[in-house]
Amino acid sequence: MQDKKVWIDPADASGQAHFLIQGEYLLELDEDGVKTTLGIQIIAQSDQTFRAEAFSGGLPGAGWSRGQEQTGSNGKVDGKFVVWTTDEGGEWGRTHLVDGNLVALDANGDPQATLKKVHRKSPTMGAKPPKGAIVLFDGMDLSEWSGRNGTPEWEVEEGAFTVVPGTGDLATRAAFGDVQLHLEWKTPLVLTGEGQERGNSGVFLMGLYEVQVLDSYESHTYSNGQAGSIYKQYIPTVNATRAPGEWQSYDIIFTTPRFTSTGQLEEPATMTVLHNGVLIHNHVTLHGPTTYIGKPEYEAHESKLPLTLQDHGNLVSFRNIWIRELQN
């Protein structure tokens, strides 16, 4: 347990009633014989307030795609109920938590509909390393990694390791080129911060090409800096982020850039990324190494370099990391 507004382990926040409401829900609708599904994501913004987004057709990556109808609303605790208002300020109803689900009530307080809570699990969660893969973290220690001053200072506990803010990035002791990478990550439960201030870290292939790690669950930031983005270059095709405190997975196929003997770019790097089993980048061509300001440009570098994980000052956790080198 850390600061009372930040929890790494959801079990430590079990007494926080607002986190029981936070999460994903499905509402089955039947309008004049036409059955539709509404996906809803709710985030606790404080112990008294909430933000919800409703997605026509289902949840992002599971029925809803970018461009389909999406509406927002705000919730506030009123006794044992949450009162919801539209972004325009009009009240649309009240909900009450019953057996883990949200029951919507009409003006008389009678049950009108049930929003069923769902717990989606990535189909690649817990993926076992294939033959020939190198296990970079097996839940025991950081022997495959080095820290800023040599020995890693990030904290290992209960089969995962967590950023210790201010201790610097971690880098693999071994160097890699073309790879298949699997890793699982989790952002902390928080009640403060927005955008880049929430659950920020990054996975840097070759220490140069970043896939962003971020709490992008109903937390808004610039589109090419959200979770799953190839930072400042490509926006994920869908925001497949789960709620803070839930484990998520990345599966990445990366090919290195090729340079001529004189240092000229011959072939750019490419990347394919699945976030929680959802394809969000399909063999995209990278414009160069990650830059925070300005246009990325290639400069010749080694054909194999260490993988790095970023210390961005947030309590992001990682587990089950393995990497498989690919044949040229």
Any domain includes 26:
yes
* Final residue before a domain boundary, out of 62, 83, 118: 118
* Final residue before a domain boundary, out of 90, 118, 146: 118
Any domain includes 146:
yes
Q: What is the pLDDT of residues 128-181, one digit of tens each?
A: 999 999 999 999 999 999 999 899 999 999 999 999 999 999 999 999 999 999
Q: What is the pLDDT of residues 265-281, one digit of tens each?
A: 999 999 999 999 999 99
Q: What is the mean pLDDT of residues 93-119?
A: 90
Distance between CA atoms of 289 and 7, rounded to whole angstroms? 33
Check whether residue 52 and residue 143 sit in a common domain.
no
> CB–CB of 223/229 below 8 Å?
yes
For residue 202, the domain's CATH number is: 2.60.120.560
Any domain includes 22:
yes
Check whether residue 31 and residue 180 sit in a common domain.
no
> CB–CB of 214/199 below 8 Å?
yes
Check whether residue 185 and residue 276 sit in a common domain.
yes
As a whole number, the mean pLDDT across the chain is 91
| Between residues 133 and 29, the one the model is more confident about | 133
* pLDDT of amino acid 13: 67
Q: How confident is the model at residue 263 (pLDDT cuts 50, 70, 90)?
A: very high
Check whether residue 84 and residue 164 sit in a common domain.
no
Distance between CA atoms of 148 and 305, rounded to whole angstroms? 16
- 76 pLDDT higher than 70: yes
Q: Which residues of 299-323 are buried (b: 16+ CB within 10 A; e: fewer)?
A: eeeeeebbbbbbbbebbbbbbbbbb
* pLDDT of amino acid 1: 34
| Between residues 90 and 177, the one the model is more confident about | 177
Which of 6-15, 120-129, 219-228, 242-251 has the weakest average pLDDT? 6-15
Check whether residue 176 and residue 32 sit in a common domain.
no
Check whether residue 218 and residue 260 sit in a common domain.
yes
Check whether residue 258 and residue 191 sit in a common domain.
yes
| Between residues 77 and 328, the one the model is more confident about | 77
Check whether residue 162 and residue 301 sit in a common domain.
yes
What domain count does the chain have?
A: 2
CA distances from 98 to 21, 103, 162 (A): 10, 7, 34
Check whether residue 173 and residue 306 sit in a common domain.
yes
Any domain includes 241:
yes
- What is the pTM for the complete model shown? 0.90
Check whether residue 172 and residue 315 sit in a common domain.
yes
* pLDDT of amino acid 31: 80
Question: What are the φ and ψ backbone dihedral angles of 160, each rounded to 5 degrees?
Answer: -140, 165
Any domain includes 78:
yes
Check whether residue 69 and residue 11 sit in a common domain.
yes
Can you give the residue range of the structural domain that contains 240? 134-325
Any domain includes 126:
no
Check whether residue 14 and residue 145 sit in a common domain.
no
For residue 85, the domain's CATH number is: 2.40.128.120
* Final residue before a domain boundary, out of 71, 86, 118: 118
Task: For the beta carbon of residue 87, count every other beta carbon within 10 angstroms.
Answer: 9
Any domain includes 106:
yes
